[in-house]
Amino acid sequence: MSLATITAAALPPQVYAHTEGHDVNLTADAAHWRPVRGIGTGWVKPHAGTGLWTSPVTAHRTDRTPTDSAWLEWCRSEMDSDTSALWLTEIWPTGDARLLLIDDQAHLAAIVDAYPAVPNPYVAHRNGGQYADWEALAADGWDGVYLTDRGQWATRLPRSGPDLYGWDLESCLWLRPSYVVGRTVCSAARSEAGAA
Residuewise pLDDT in 10s, the chain (196 residues): 599 999 999 999 999 999 999 999 999 999 999 999 987 778 889 989 999 999 999 999 999 999 999 999 999 999 999 999 999 999 999 999 999 999 999 999 999 999 999 887 777 666 677 899 999 999 999 999 999 999 999 999 888 889 999 999 999 999 999 999 999 999 986 655 444 3
Residue 137 CA to residue 135 CA, distance in Å, equals 5
- Bridge-based pairing of strands 66-69 and 52-60 is antiparallel
- pLDDT (0 to 100) of residue 194: 44
- CA dist 17 and 169 (Å) reads 14
- Give Cβ neighbours of residue 196 (< 8 Å, ≥ 6 apart): none
pLDDT given at position 196: 36
Distance of alpha carbon 138 from the chain centroid: 14
Q: Can you give the pTM of this predicted structure?
A: 0.93
| Nearest of 99, 94, 106 to residue 7 by alpha carbon | 99
Q: Distance of alpha carbon 66 from its chain centroid, rounded? A: 18
